[in-house]
Structure 1
Amino acid sequence: MFDEISPTYDKLNHLLSGYQDNRWRKSAVKYLQFLQHEYPFILDLASGSGDLGAEFLKLKPQKIFSADLSLEMLKIDRQKLPEDINYPVKAEAEHLPFKTGYFDLCGIGFGVRNFENLDSCIIEICRVLKPGGRFVTIEMFKPAKSGLTNRSFRLYFEKILPKIGNTLSSSNFAYDYLFESVDNFITVQSYENLLQKNGFKILRSKNNFLGIVNTVFAEKM
């Protein structure tokens, strides 16, 4: 699916987020800089087309490994990051081809909800991070409460967004999947609990948009 929509992926994400997705990435990196921690080895997991990895360049890493299952997305990723520090890898989150305790930072931008076994993926992320390593997640979570926010979410993501996304991407189903993936996902509170259960402590959780788009910063204990 992601190979199919890769040519229009960036433009559509910017459009459908109201051009806020880049701001959320920049804000995440700014907080990582505020923590005054060094990040020589970074894993951009579920990297997609490399927008988050491009922001990670501000952290002055020695190496950024871009890991994704879509080869077409990784081709776009290669165009955004310098060749001398970028290492694109086709890999799945449950079985990362990296040694234990290698990375100083792992980041995932809008990819966690696509993982089939979230528990196993978090355990694997914890494994490849150094003790004290940081893990940042930017994601669309299921709204925690019913009411106006939930109804607005369902109207936009179920009715409006799929029509725009599928039309502009020439896909018959890709952006229908987006609603389903968010609607079937967990709340940000449940996600934080999952991180804490699997070896992380929460440093900060930031609500970017209506409690749906959140950035969660964690540290490997």
Structure 2
Amino acid sequence: MTERSSEREGSTHFGNSEVQLSEKQGLVDDVFHKVARRYDIMNDLMSGGLHRLWKDTFAGKVNARGRRGFRHLDVAGGTGDIAFRIASGAAPDAEIVVLDINGDMLEVGRDRARARGFSGVEFVQANAESLPFPDAHFDAYTIAFGIRNVPRIDLALAEAYRVLKPGGRFLCLEFSQVTVPGLDRIYEAYSFNVIPTIGKFVAGDAEPYRYLVESIRKFPAAEEFESMIRKAGFRRTGFERLTGGVVAIHSGWKS
């Protein structure tokens, strides 16, 4: 059964498991409740620190530096990783909002914002499928390593389109499919055998990290996801693979 046919019938995937569509968000929330306080440490260990370079490249594409009145929304960005990078170069009057459905992740982000002096960054708890903002409000929308955890990706993309201004940019950083022969087998073995073991050692629980690895495998190929972005209404879409296709940066513009 394909993912699309499953969703039409009221079910979807949660990692390698089939669950009711209405249950997925709660299951995802539970994963991130468990890992919130160790999330950044685990990212460093799992990626060998590469996630920092990926996020630097990703945030650099927002081009917020010096733009007066710039409005930016970072979705599924609870810990503030992307928002802080953008805020560091934004004009003083920029509106930078971090939105996440998980309160524990947002609390980590608020603590980090206070510690780093990012007093102007706003944190909002809400669902990516139903954003609490008016139409045509933001200049840029980012989501990093979060779209694959949304139960209804098409709704999240539609909401991204709705809240962006005409000329606004959608950017998504997400795991993808390795395109380098040989590296794909190494990456597969590392993901399923090493990452859950690291999770158990560092965070005390392997299961959330087993889910995260499985969710990567269930996410659409880069070409298919680009098609979904176009279907949501975005134009001039494209993607850039990084680190041999381990991750990809997807982009689209609201006309």
Pairwise CA distance, 1:59: 4.2
Q: 1:202 to 1:20 in 2, by over 3 A?
A: farther
Aligned to 2:32: 2
| TM, length-normalised to structure 2 | 0.79
What CA deviation, in whole Å up to 9, does each residue of 1:50-89 have, x standing for no partner?
1111111144152211111111111111133356422211
Aligned to 2:28: none
Aligned to 1:77: 109
Inter-partner Cα distance in structure 1 for 2:246 and 2:213: 12
Please tell me the residue identity of whatever aligns with 1:96: L
What CA deviation, in whole Å up to 9, does each residue of 1:71-120 have, x standing for no partner?
11111111333564222111111111111111111111111111111111
Inter-partner Cα distance in structure 2 for 1:166 and 1:130: 43
CA contact (8 A) 1:126 1:199 kept: yes
Pairwise CA distance, 1:32: 3.0
Aligned to 1:210: 244
Inter-partner Cα distance in structure 1 for 2:126 and 2:32: 14
Inter-partner Cα distance in structure 2 for 1:107 and 1:97: 16
CA contact (8 A) 1:142 1:184 kept: no
Aligned-pair identity in percent equals 29
Aligned to 1:200: 234
**SS at structure 1 position matched to 2:77:** coil
Pairwise CA distance, 1:150: 3.2
Aligned to 2:145: 110
Pairwise CA distance, 1:39: 6.8
**SS at structure 2 position matched to 1:207:** strand
Count of residue pairs the alignment pairs up:
220
Q: 1:38 to 1:114 in 2, by over 3 A?
A: farther
Please tell me the residue identity of whatever aligns with 1:68: D
Inter-partner Cα distance in structure 1 for 2:235 and 2:172: 13
Please list every run of 5 or more consecutive structure 1 residues that lacks an aligned counterpart in the other structure.
none
Pairwise CA distance, 1:38: 6.4
Pairwise CA distance, 1:24: 1.2
Question: How do 1:1-221 residues align onto structure 2 when only pairs under 5 Å count?
Answer: 1-33=31-63, 40-60=70-90, 62-81=94-113, 82=117, 84-143=119-178, 148-202=182-236, 204-221=238-255
CA contact (8 A) 1:101 1:130 kept: yes
**SS at structure 2 position matched to 1:12:** helix
| TM, length-normalised to structure 1 | 0.90
Aligned-residue Cα RMSD (Å) equals: 2.2
Decide which structure has the larger Cα Rg and report it: 2
Please list every run of 5 or more consecutive structure 2 residues that lacks an aligned counterpart in the other structure.
1-30
CA contact (8 A) 1:134 1:218 kept: yes
